[in-house]
Homo-oligomer: A and B are copies of this chain.
Amino acid sequence: MRDDDIATLLRALGHPVRLNILRISATQQQGQCCCADVTESLPLAQSTVSQHIKVLLDAGLITRQPRGTRNCYIVQHDRLAELGAAYSGMLAGLTPASPKLEAEPA
C-alpha cells in the first residue's frame, strides 16, 4: 500500500462525524445503516451527512446497497483491517529496534 493511499484513508477517517457513521452503521441491525439513521443521530443536515458518506464511499470504507427507496451502507471491515495492517507495518519499520535490518542477523 502506497503512502498516498494510506494518507487518503487516514484523511477519510480523520473526522469525528465519519467515525460516528461507521459506528452507527455497525450498531444498526445487520450492520447496515441508511442516511436517515445518521441524520437522526447527529445534529447535521441531510446533505452534510450524505457528503460524509460519499467520502467514506470513495475511500472504499463502506459500500452502498440500494434497498427499496433507501440506500444501505455496509462497513468494509476488510478495508479497515487493511489500513490497520499498513499502519502496523509502518510502525514496525519505524521502531528503533530494527532501523534497517542491515546488521546483526545472527
Interface residues, chain A, CB within 8 Å of chain B? 3-4, 6-8, 10-11, 13-16, 18-20, 22-23, 26-27, 31, 75, 77, 80-81, 84, 87-88, 90-91, 93-96, 99-100
Contact = CB atoms under 8 A, between A and B. Distances in A.
Nearest to A19: B3
Nearest to A25: B94
Given A7-B16, A26-B99, 10 more contacts: A7-B13, A10-B10, A11-B14, A14-B14, A22-B90, A22-B94, A26-B94, A77-B91, A77-B94, A77-B95
Identical subunits present: 2
Contacts of A3: 16, 19-20
A6 B27 contact: no
